[in-house]
Amino acid sequence: MHAPPGSQTVTVRSDDSPISSPPSPWWIQSLHLTEEYKQRLCTGRWLNDKIIDAVNHTVADHVQGDVPQSSLVVQVPGGFDRVDSGFQIIYDTVHWVAVCCQNDKVPYANSMDDNISPFVVQQLKQLYAGLVT
């Protein structure tokens, strides 16, 4: 039997074992970034949690700050743990917001506009409890 023109053929295993593609080679293994993530950066695609967590760790190492929390922590009921200082990238609905805490001040860099959403405020209150009201 021949496949219709323009269709793709699919290989099916007879032993029901999963078919998986080989893992992408490492780009920066210590940051858990593969070549796939490098391509994502180079082509201007959406930055995901793996890339943002790598940025958080790189900046923390550079400024010798506390180990940042994963951007995924905000999705659990308790959210972020409180910290007294340090750099962290948090997210809003469609973009990332960089924040830090130095000398009891919490500046932020928001690439979209001058206002921050209630969701960002919630994350700031979790991270810097007592400094952000």
CA distance 30 to 109: 27
Tokens 């500046």, residue located: 107
Residue 93 lies in a domain: yes
Say if 59 falls within a structural domain: yes
Q: What is the DSSP string of 17-82?
A: PPP-PPPPPEEEGGGTEEHHHHHHHHTTPPP-HHHHHHHHHHHHHHHT-PPPPPGGGGGSTT-SPP
Mean pLDDT over 106-115 rounds to: 81
- Would 110 be classed as within a structural domain? yes
**Element at 124 (helix H, strand E):** helix 118-127
**CA–CA separation, 73 vs 104, rounded Å?**
23
**Residue 79, domain extent:** 47-127
Structure-token match 């960089």, residue found: 98
Average pLDDT over residues 111-129: 84
**Interacting residues of 91 by C-beta distance below 8 A, sequence separation 6+:** 52, 71, 74, 97
- The Cα–Cα gap between 41 and 14 comes to 38
Q: Is residue 20 part of a domain?
A: no
Helix (H) or strand (E) holding 123: helix 118-127
Q: Which pTM does this prediction carry?
A: 0.67
Tell me if 77 is assigned to some domain: yes
20 pLDDT higher than 80? no
Inside any domain, residue 132: no
Total domain count, the chain: 1
Q: Is the pLDDT of residue 12 over 70?
A: no
What pLDDT digit, counting tens, does each position of 30-63 carry?
888 999 999 998 998 888 888 888 988 888 888 7
Is residue 108 assigned to a domain? yes
Paired strand residues for 118: none
Mean pLDDT of 11-40: 76
Determine the pLDDT at residue 38. 92
Reported as a single tens digit per residue, the pLDDT across 61-105 is: 887 767 788 888 877 888 888 888 888 888 887 788 888 888 888
15: pLDDT confidence band, cut at 50, 70 and 90? low
pLDDT in the model for residue 101: 85
- State residue 14's pLDDT score: 59
Q: Is residue 107 part of a domain?
A: yes
